[in-house]
Structure 1
Amino acid sequence: MKCHSNDTMEEIKFSIQEYLRNHHLELTPDGSFVRWLRENPKHPRNWSVLRKTYDTGLICALDLFITASSTAGAAAAAQAKHEYHLNHTFATFCFVTLFLLGQSIGTIVFPPWSESFGRKKMYLLSSGLSSICCLVIGFSQSLTGAVIMRTLAGLLSAVPSTIVGGSIEDMFNSQARIWVVFFWTVASNIGLIVGPIMSSHVIELLNWRWVFFTYAIIIGGITGLLCLIRESRSSYILTREVDRLRHEIPEVPPALNHDHSPNLQTFVKEALFRPAQLFFQEPIIFTIAMMISVAMSLIYIFTEALQPIYQSMGFSASQASLIFMAIGLGTCVSTFTRILDCYIFNKRRMRGKPIRPEDKLVGLALGAPFLAIGLWWFGWTIPPKTPGPDTPWIVPTISLVLVGYALTEMDTVLYGYISDSYLSYSASATAAVAFLRGMLSGAFPLFTNQMFDGLGANIAVSVLATVATVFCIVPPLFLCYGERIRRRSRFARYSWEIQEEMGKDEYDI
């Protein structure tokens, strides 16, 4: 590059600034990089409501149906075992456990790479290959082929579950994210419930292979619609935009982009070592991981146990699957808790008080006892030890509404508590929780039938209710001592100091 006088350099810098401003961009204070201007229409947070609604709704739909395909495996396994000459436990392992083991691995593998290659490519890769996997399972006459595809489908299912939250953060500010993240959580949890219902009805009308054909068609359709979404990773968009401008004016500095493709050392440190370190060294992470993993594993336990319980009351298999709708109703009731959260947040802001992570634990304080109450209620209103010989089916079913509400609250609030408490380490902390959740969700169905047959349904549910009752200790501990525990934690203390410096969470590009 030719040498220029100071005046000439200032003129060049000024002309570059004017050029960038015409494209709604600006130089960083040191002049080394290009960054967004606040009002840039290409920044995802400045997109139209219609664009945000389409993109967010579609990726939430993708997560819903891919999640549904995981719980659909139990009903498919119950039929496929006859064709492949398997016992029930091994069939469950092939169609349910392997999917969730693959998902657990995916939660570790994909996050470090998802920031570098853009959101849209990852969604298209996940949905397109997931559709193909379902199609191959439906056509496969070989158990080996079905097992490989089911495991691969589980691995791919980790993509939406790990990056939808990132897409939401890309497009919405902190206030809007309260509701958008809630709708995503509801969609994901409804996916868990839709799986058994859809699979039972498809099997009754056709056969187990059509369960996977159905999901191949649905997810394939979503893949086509995903081609119309926009890339939402702001640093990725900025880099492409600046690279285009640099072709016209080479003197334009590069884009401000902190994303990078991790090398092996970075991958081992951030994706493997740090989640394990947080899990074993952080009491908060360990406790939350255990609570979420056990609580959300209930859905997979119910995919094995719920239908036989209601069939003993005279329901057919497809009718019994509809009982999952009670859990779905409880999931929707969580809307009222989010309204309460907004009321509490606004009240604290009006008083000029900062919002601490512990201020967002109202849902946990309600959800933990409701889960225990719901399970105790359900456990002693089902056969064989019902309160009376004429106890109607609706009595235990109402308790499942409480269970559905509690599961959604625990899922929403505890993941939020991790994000608020650990900030820069939240991705690693969430990976630790997601890994354990996948492992336990895959393991529990393997011994559910033995547990319910050996102990009886009443005692088996009571064991689960006892664990839920122990969880009721956690909300008061977090409310009273959570801040003290965070201050003593090396990871959480660092995040807490950042939070104190930042003050109120505001719009920020």
Structure 2
Amino acid sequence: MKELFRDTVAGQLLRLVTRDRILPYPEEIDPSICQKYINAEKSENMARVGSTNLPPPPPKEEEEKTEEQSPSSESRHPSTNSSTTNVSDTNNHGTNTASNTKVDPEKGRDAHIVDWYGPTDPDNPQNWGVVKKVWVTFEICLLTFSVYIGSAIYTAGILDVSETFGVSRVAATLGLTLFVLGYGVGPMLWSPLSEIPQIGRGPIYIGTLALFVILQVPTALATNFGMLLAFRFITGFVGSPSLATGGASIGDMYTPAKRTYGMAVWGVGAVCGPVLGPLVGGFAVEARGWTWTIWELMWLSGFTLVLITLFMPETSSANILYRRTQRLRKLTGNDKLICEPELEGQDMTGREIAQMVLVRPFTLCFTEPMVSLLNLYIALIYGLLYIWFESFPIVFTEIYHFSLGLEGTAFVGILVGVFAVLPPFIYYQRKYIEPKFNDKGELQPEWRLPPSFVGAFAIPLCLFWFAWTSRPDIHWIVPIIGTAWFSIGAFLLFNSVLNYLSDAYPKYAASVLAGNDFFRSSFGAGFPLFATAMYEKLGVGWASSTLGFISIAFIPIPFILFKYGAKLRHRSKYAMKEF
């Protein structure tokens, strides 16, 4: 418990205020163990070639030619174990004291690389215990739920907003769409910032969620419609980190073979938001009006803010290593101590950072066929979800005569579908996918896609079922049962696609996932604006069927990528090519 609290934002602030006297790290208690954090092999590589990793050996012909040109090469000094190295010795006549290796005057750099002290280093998030990983995963799910519910909880009050501000229902729907658009744009900024070692994920989560909580007050107290819309967009924007970076935090803790389980649980948290939002918001609007939904959102997100501030440790390995390096510099006075994340940051220019934040997500979206197709498919599913949600008031209020509060219970079928598909999905992953990982912990990305084959057919099945069973002569439980197929399909598609993109683009995962979030949120923001007119003119049957036909057109995408994905990856300059 002490170690967990020490690495939270609250714990780090407490250390800062007390000048590190409270919650000390092991090396601050016993400075002699500082030696074990220095990686002698990587320090040696830095001394020889200026990089922590040696370049691949040259072709045999070039190697023979080099030997002919310089037959006598200077032998390097043997490495020594880091445990016998004096890390406070910062000057030894051109010799890297961390590895006892002569520094190459042209290529090398005298640096002492701070790293994990071994494969079992407990500070490495992937080495955390099961209980700690489960707890942090739960917190990320709660954080995601607390923001995601902000979109759907508003829908229950759309008619009340329309009456209060004297605007049409379509205009009142902008309060939903702008919020969704905000959390689609936000990750393009917040996700890259959370990758910076000096910042990490915790401050981004805490800082943006604090703004999210505070800004609910002017949202609920909005005196005109324009003010309401402005704050709905801003709150969506500042609340967005959990929706894109949450997946990155899951990836921080789990190996690729186990990551899919964490992503699956996180996906359940994401689904609970849109599903429970109308249920919670419906009764609130009935009792107190639309503003009560905003106050509920503030209370929920405020509770989450307190919880994660006190009990969610930093998950970014880059930030953990950076802070370790800072502590070792302070303890030893050795300014040559540096970690690999810092090295990468030093080599980046301002232009490269701007390109990473502003350009790369869009470049990958529009120049990589695999990313474009899957982003389009997921965006479509997301858009269909939000436009389909607009039919629920028509079906369950006008056809089945549910009250506004009871209307929210119609969404429970979607939640049941998620819990129904979770056990077989986990069984499939353990039985068939985990054995396909090689000794390096790598998997051919295309093997992430088979669950999406089922999901692709589940979406149109749901929409056609819902379309033609939503009639007065058919009991209301029948269309509700049909809604479960949408969450089954969306769950399988989202997990397959997000894991596939992470595996296919491991070096650019943050940019790829941020672009995916932007794509799907753009569709989710735009589609509800024409939902009401579509259902009024076509009727529930043909409007939902139209959505079903659109989803059928996209079914071939995962099958095509499963067959040709490897060829496309080998042609890409960004994707992994080993498989």
TM bin, normalised by shorter chain, reads: 0.7 to 0.9
The offset of 1:435, in angstroms, is: 1.1
Residue in structure 2 matching 1:101, options 176, 181, 185: 181
Which amino acid in structure 1 is aligned with residue 140 of structure 2?
I
Amino acid at match of 2:573: R
Is the Cα–Cα contact under 8 Å of residues 69 and 215 in structure 1 kept in the other structure?
A: yes
Aligned to 1:221, what secondary structure does the other structure show? helix
Distance 1:442 1:263 in 2: 35
2:525 counterpart of 1:442: yes
Whole-Å Cα distance in 2 between the matches of residues 422 and 349 of structure 1?
Answer: 17
Offset, 1:25 = 4.8
3-state SS, counterpart of residue 490 of structure 1:
coil
Q: Which moved more, 1:51-60 or 1:360-369?
A: 51-60
Which residue, 371, 375, 388 being the options, matches 2:459?
Answer: 371
Residues 238-286 of structure 1 show CA distances to partners (whole Å, capped at 9, x for unaligned) of: 2222222222322363231425498652344223322222222222111
Name 1:339's counterpart in structure 2: 427
State how far apart, in whole Å, the 2-side matches of 1:432 and 1:118 are. 20
Q: Is 421-430 or 121-130 further displaced after alignment?
A: 421-430
Counterpart CA distance in 2 for 1:429 and 1:41 is 29
2:308 is equivalent to residue 222 of structure 1: no
Instruction: List structure 1 segments (4+ residues) > 6 angstroms apart after TM superposition.
Output: 350-354
Number of equivalenced pairs: 473
- Counterpart in the other structure of 1:206: 288
Q: Distance in 2 between matches of 1:248 and 1:434?
A: 42
What is the TM-score of this pair, normalised by structure 2? Answer: 0.77
Matched, 1:34 2:114: yes
Matched, 1:315 2:395: no
Whether the 8 Å CA contact 2:147–2:240 is kept in 1: the answer is no
Q: Is the 8 A contact 2:114 2:340 kept in 1?
A: no
Q: Are the equivalent residues in 1 in contact too, given 2:37–2:115 (CA < 8 A)? A: no
Q: 1:218, 1:483 → 2: CA distance?
A: 44
1:491 CA drift (Å): 2.4
Post-superposition Cα deviations, 1:295-351, rounded to whole Å, max 9, x if no partner, equal 022332233211221121222222222111111111222211231122112444599
C-alpha distance 352-256 of structure 1, shift in aligned 2 (>3 A): closer
Q: Provide the residue aligned with 1:3 in structure 2.
A: none
Secondary structure of the 1:322 match is helix
Shift of 1:371: 1.0
103-112 or 442-451, which moves further after superposition? 103-112
Choose from 288, 306, 311 the match for 2:392: 306
Q: Which amino acid aligns with 2:360?
A: R
Aligned-partner SS, 2:498: helix
Deviation readout 1:164-201 (Å, 9 max, x if unpaired)? 12222222223332211110011111212111111112
For 1:103 and 1:124, the matched residues in 2 are separated by 16
CA contact (8 A) 2:216 2:298 kept: yes
Task: Indicate which of 396, 413, 431 corresponds to 2:496.
Answer: 413
Is 1:330 the counterpart of 2:412? The answer is: no
Match of 2:200 in 1: 118
Q: 1:52 to 1:314 in 2, by over 3 A?
A: same
Secondary structure of the residue that 2:564 maps to in structure 1?
helix
Within a 5 Å distance, the mapping from 1:6-405 to structure 2 comes to 19-20=32-33, 24-27=37-40, 28-30=42-44, 31=98, 32=111, 33-38=113-118, 39-93=120-174, 95-116=175-196, 117-228=199-310, 229-251=312-334, 253-258=336-341, 260=345, 265-311=351-397, 312-335=399-422, 336-348=424-436, 355-383=443-471, 390-405=473-488
Q: Which residue of 2 aligns with 1:9?
A: none
Tell me the residue number matched to 1:503.
none
Output the CA distance in 2 between the equivalents of 1:488 and 1:41.
39
Contact 1:71 1:300 in 2 (8 A): no
Cα distance change of structure 1 residues 123 and 488 upon mapping to structure 2, 3 Å threshold? same
Would the aligned equivalents of 2:256 and 2:442 in 1 still touch at CA under 8 Å?
no
**% identity of equivalent residues:** 25
Higher Rg: 2
CA distance, structure 2, for counterparts of residue 42 and residue 353 of structure 1? 20
Q: Which amino acid aligns with 1:44?
A: P
| CA distance, structure 1, for counterparts of residue 133 and residue 187 of structure 2 | 25
Superposed CA offset, 1:336-383 (max 9, x none): 123112211244459999732121212101000111112112112223
Aligned partner letter, 1:52: K
Matched with 1:423 is 506
SS at match of 2:391: helix
Unpaired stretches in structure 2, ≥5 consecutive residues: 1-30, 45-97, 99-110
Say if 1:41 and 1:337 are closer, same or farther in 2 by CA, change over 3 A.
closer
Superposition deviation, residue 152 in structure 1? 1.1
| Letter matched to residue 191 of structure 2 | P
SS in 2 for 1:110: helix
Deviation at 1:396, TM superposition (A): 1.9
Secondary structure, counterpart of 1:89 in structure 2: helix
Change (3 A) 1:333 1:263: farther
Aligned counterparts of 1:286 and 1:479: Cα–Cα separation in 2? 15
C-alpha change, 1:338 and 1:246, in structure 2 (3 Å) is: same
Instruction: Tell me the distance in 2 between the aligned counterparts of 1:477 and 1:208.
Output: 46
User: Counterpart of 2:540?
Assistant: 457
Amino acid at match of 1:146: L
Aligned residue for 1:468?
551
Segments of structure 1 that go 5 or more residues without pairing to the other structure are 1-17, 384-388, 501-509
Contact 2:183–2:243 under 8 Å retained in 1: no
Q: Is residue 285–residue 418 contact of structure 1 (8 Å, CA) maintained in 2?
A: yes
Deviation of 1:108 (Å): 0.9
Within 2, Cα distance between the matches of 1:244 and 1:309? Answer: 61
Query: Per-residue deviation at 1:46?
Result: 3.1
Q: Is the 8 A contact 2:328 2:337 kept in 1?
A: no
Call closer, same or farther: CA 1:247–1:354 in 2, change over 3 Å. closer
RMSD over aligned Cα, in angstroms? 2.4
Amino acid at match of 1:333: A
The answer to whether the 8 A contact 1:307-1:321 is kept is: no
- AA matched with 2:253: M
Residue 407 of structure 1, CA deviation? 0.9
**Structure 1 residues 127, 354: CA separation in 2 closer, same or farther (over 3 Å shift)?**
closer
Distance (Å, rounded) in 1 between the aligned partners of 2:442 and 2:37: 33
SS at match of 2:334: coil
Counterpart-to-counterpart distance in 2, 1:50 and 1:244 = 27
Secondary structure of the corresponding residue to residue 339 of structure 2: coil
**3-state SS of the aligned residue for 1:36?**
coil
Q: Flag the structure with higher helix content.
A: 1
Look up the SS of the partner of 2:115 in the other structure: strand
* Preserved contact between residue 127 and residue 219 of structure 1 (Cα < 8 Å): yes
Whether the aligned pair in 2 keeps the contact of 1:126 and 1:159 (CA below 8 Å) is yes
SS of the residue corresponding to residue 255 of structure 1 reads: strand
Conserved? CA contact 2:200–2:318, under 8 Å? no
Q: Answer with 366-375 or 481-490: which moved more.
A: 481-490
Give the distance between the partners of 2:317 and 2:504, measured in 1 at CA: 24
- What is the rounded CA distance, in whole Å, between the counterparts of 1:451 and 1:396 in structure 2? 19
Q: Distance in 1 between matches of 2:318 and 2:571?
A: 34
